[in-house]
Amino acid sequence: MPWPRILLCSALLMTVSLASIANAQDSSSSSTPKPTKKAATPVESTLDSGSIANGVYRNKTIALSCKIPEGWVLRTEEMNAGAENSPEKKDSPDSASSVGAKVLLAAFSRPPEARAEDVNSSILIAAEPTASYPGLKDAAQYFGPLTEVAKAQAFTIDEDPYEIAVGTKTLVRGDFHKDVGTRVMHQSTLAMLSHGYAISITIIAGTEDDVEELIDGLTFSSSGK
């Protein structure tokens, strides 16, 4: 299956990876999947952007709740603006393939610009129209481009993606790690298809236990819009 370049997802994962360890060196440039010639048709958004109250992000459309640890900082609007205005997106011949793509939540344990020795834990929830991926039928297929992006950022996949139940939903999960000096950055991405979008929930932390604790803060209810 030919995949178009996932401009938004690639830019966001790069930003999260570089922000997570402030003392890490800039990652070397690497190639990205070639864009398809056919641009995706823009879709009318049926996806709620969600809202935050009392430390919990809620999205009624996909019936998702995500607990944000106390003291974390939000960068959702900044990351949306950064992806929208990036030179890569403006200059790319397939920029239309990311029409309708957006960040629903970007939260960090500390400001990305703050320097520290430990991993800057983060939660990133993003959505891309499934129309951007001709032939996309399930979340497992979506891990094709997601894995390519992770590998381009020097992450190693721990095992093949697998299904995981979170509340009333079954998602596909992929686990990755990246050695940065004496530290290890752990990344887990959960994906599903809903309301015409490919939804990805990416969590980065310094240990596997920290990743699991953040995943435990995710809840899907039985009802959505």
Each residue's pLDDT tens digit, 82-127: 656 555 444 443 433 345 788 999 999 988 777 777 888 999 999 9
In a domain, 116, yes or no: yes
In a domain, 29, yes or no: no
What is the CATH classification number for the domain harbouring 187?
A: 3.40.1000.10
User: Between residues 91 and 147, which one has the greater pLDDT?
Assistant: 147
pLDDT 10s digits, 19-43: 444 333 333 333 333 334 344 444 4
Contact status, residue 60 vs residue 49, Cβ threshold 8 Å = no
What pTM was estimated for this model as a whole? Answer: 0.78
Residues spanned by the domain of 97: 7-22+47-220
CB-based contacts of 25: which residues, under 8 Å, 6+ apart? none
Instruction: Return the bridge partners of 9, or none.
Output: none
Sign of CA dihedral 97, 99, 100, 102: positive
In a domain, 41, yes or no: no
30-to-21, 36, 70, 154, 204 alpha-carbon distances in Å: 19, 19, 36, 9, 21
State the total domains in the chain: 1
In a domain, 204, yes or no: yes
In a domain, 124, yes or no: yes
In a domain, 2, yes or no: no
pLDDT 10s digits, 164-221: 999 989 999 999 999 987 889 999 999 999 999 999 999 999 999 999 999 999 999 8
DSSP line for 176-216: EEEEETTEEEEEEEEEEEETTEEEEEEEEESSHHHHHHHHT
